[in-house]
Amino acid sequence: MALFKDLNIEESILKSIEKMGFTEATPIQEQVIPVAKNGQDVIGQAQTGTGKTVAFGIPLLESVDADARHPQGLVLAPTRELAMQVSEELTKLGREKGITSLAIYGGQDISKQIRGLKKRPQIIVGTPGRFMDHMRRKTIRPEYMNTVVLDEADEMLSMGFIEDIETILKEVPEDRRTMLFSATMPKRLKNVVSSFMQDPVTVAIKSKEMTVENIEQRYIEVHEKQKFDALCHMLDIDPPELAIVFGRTKRRVDEVTESLGIRGFAAEGLHGDMKQERRDAVIRKFKRGAIDILVATDVAARGLDVNNVSHVYNFDLPQDSESYVHRIGRTGRAGKSGIAFSFVTPKERDHLKIIEKATKKPMKQQSVPTYQEALAGRQDRSVNHLQESLRKGDFEHLMGAAKSMLEEHDAETLVAAALRTMTKEPDQTPVRLTGEAPVHSKRRGGGGGFGGGGKKGSYNRNSSSARKRTDRGDRGGRGGQDRGRGGKPQAKVKSLGFKK
């Protein structure tokens, strides 16, 4: 494994990396950085959590003139959350060089973004629809972009952004450097590579380097109607530091969030139909621990970077193995261990096997938790709280009352009574959740990373209802001439973050 100091990185950027506390490059960083620094186009393939933002971020930052008064780098991302995260990471990396990045995305007041552009950021990170909006308004001039990055390109394809991407690539300089990261390479994406990339070099991380060894994976076989009680019992038995509960649809997220609140859990939902201000507020609360459970859809959780997530619950199984890896990759970060639970209905056993085969890691089956186990979990927490109180002391003012009670009762009875008072029984308030159809195993079609070759009736990210939950509300027009740049298609991706 290479050290960053051995990769011939500019001193100012290396200083930022060191201030962030990192010294060792991940495999994708070690291989992409030297190629991209030479000005070559790159296709990257890597799993989520392996460090691709830094892999393309360092060469991008090195190509930027800090004294120039216009944006020189563009990163296109499929979701608002990923755009915000990438922008934040690039700003940290470029701080010592004096480079700033601005995230632009649908759902936020465009006038606020225009004010941000007046501050002259050197790098723009945005969703395709909103970038098109700024091009039409001429608030961004694409002719100065010397580097373009397509992050999670297959996701942008599956969400319907491919024509916008092609239009944008026709407007940026033809001699730019292009970096594309994608998990799959469907035909439409290969066309983008052949038309808009020049002799790209493919960097692929082998499967043995795509492991999730620090994430324990388990599944619970339950009927649809048992899922919610099982989830609540699990939260009682093993309370998470922070947890993400994944649902397949917006309705599911809303209903599970409301039901968890009814049962007394501090939970908030996150999905694409929420206003951006609300989404940002929920993420801030989750990051600082004001809530410890986030219920989210796959799209809404894309790019979410929180290091203290201890548990992931797949309340609904994802459509495919790539989605599964993205989901469980929200835990086990920054060198910490994590645990991921998947709820599997009897009709989803075959789909579970497909996920296990793709990840090359069989899951351990866990029995459905019971009410008594949940109560025992709450009692254990009461014991822990009582022991913590003993360690802290500061109860001299209560000693008189304690001695008086000991004259009437034995110590064991008093402790048991204290624990009984401290332990609230698991809430069994009835809740109402709309049933979800099981995920059926299917052969992968020629679509993007999600829902390709989907079955009728299954949730498909290409469907019109799914697209309404994405960034397509501010989609722009299309046009321009194809400049026909040559190149050979290869590769795929998924990644993020540093390795300590």
Task: Tell me the one-letter amino acid at 382.
Answer: S
Instruction: Indicate the domain borders of the chain.
Output: 4-209
**pTM (global) more than 0.85:** no
Per-residue pLDDT at 52 exceeds 60: yes
| Nearest alpha carbon to residue 142 among 74, 81, 67 | 74
Cα distance between residue 228 and residue 343, in whole Å: 10
CB 146 within 8 A of CB 93: no
Provide the pLDDT for residue 359. 82
Compute the 3-state secondary structure of the chain and give helix, strand, coil in percent, each to the nearest 5: 45, 15, 45
pLDDT at 368: 93
Distance between CA atoms of residues 387 and 498, nearest Å: 38
pLDDT digits (tens, 9 = 90+) for 201-245: 999 876 444 446 689 999 999 999 999 999 999 999 999 999 999
Instruction: Round the CA-based radius of gyration of the chain to a whole number and report it.
Output: 25
Is the pLDDT at 475 greater than 70, yes or no?
no
- Nearest residue to 330 via CA among 354, 303, 291, 355: 303
| Fold of the domain spanning 4-209 | Rossmann fold (3.40.50)
User: Which residue shows structure tokens 């010592």?
Assistant: 96
Cα–Cα dist 478/429, whole Å? 52
The rounded distance, in Å, linking the Cα atoms of 243 and 336 is 14
Report the amino acid identity of residue 227: K
Q: What is the pLDDT of residue 138?
A: 95
Residue 3 and residue 413: Cα distance in Å, rounded?
61
Mean pLDDT score, 1-25 = 88
CA atoms within 13 A on the CB side of 292: 12
- Measured between alpha carbons, how far is 215 from 334 in angstroms, rounded to an integer? 12
pLDDT at 165: 96
What share of the chain in percent tops pLDDT 90?
Answer: 53
Lowest mean pLDDT of 184-188, 225-229, 435-439, 451-455, name the range: 451-455
Residue 470 has pLDDT above 70, yes or no: no
> Rounded to the nearest 10 degrees, what angle do helices 80-93 and 11-19 cross at?
110
User: Would the pLDDT of 480 be above 50?
Assistant: no
pLDDT at 301 over 50: yes
**Close Cβ partners of 319 (under 8 Å, ≥ 6 residues apart):** 248, 439, 450, 451, 454, 458, 459, 460, 461
DSSP bridge pairs for 218: 341, 364
**Does residue 32 carry a pLDDT above 60?**
yes
| Three-state DSSP class for residue 177 | strand
Q: What is the mean pLDDT of residues 158-177?
A: 94
426/430 Cα distance (integer angstroms) = 12
Say if residue 491's pLDDT is above 50. Answer: no
Taking all residues of the chain, what is their mean pLDDT, rounded to a whole number? 83
Confidence of residue 449 (pLDDT cuts 50, 70, 90): very low
pLDDT of 360 over the 60 cut: yes
| Confidence at residue 427, expressed as pLDDT on a 0 to 100 scale | 79
Residue 288: pLDDT above 70?
Answer: yes
Residue 499 pLDDT level (bands cut at 50, 70, 90): very low
Asked if residues 495 and 28 have their Cβ atoms less than 8 Å apart, the reply is yes
Of the pLDDT bands very low, low, confident and very high (cuts 50, 70, 90), residue 469 is very low
> What residue type is 78 in one-letter code?
P
Type and span of the H or E element at 496: none
Please report which residue ranges of 200-249 form alpha helices under DSSP H.
227-237
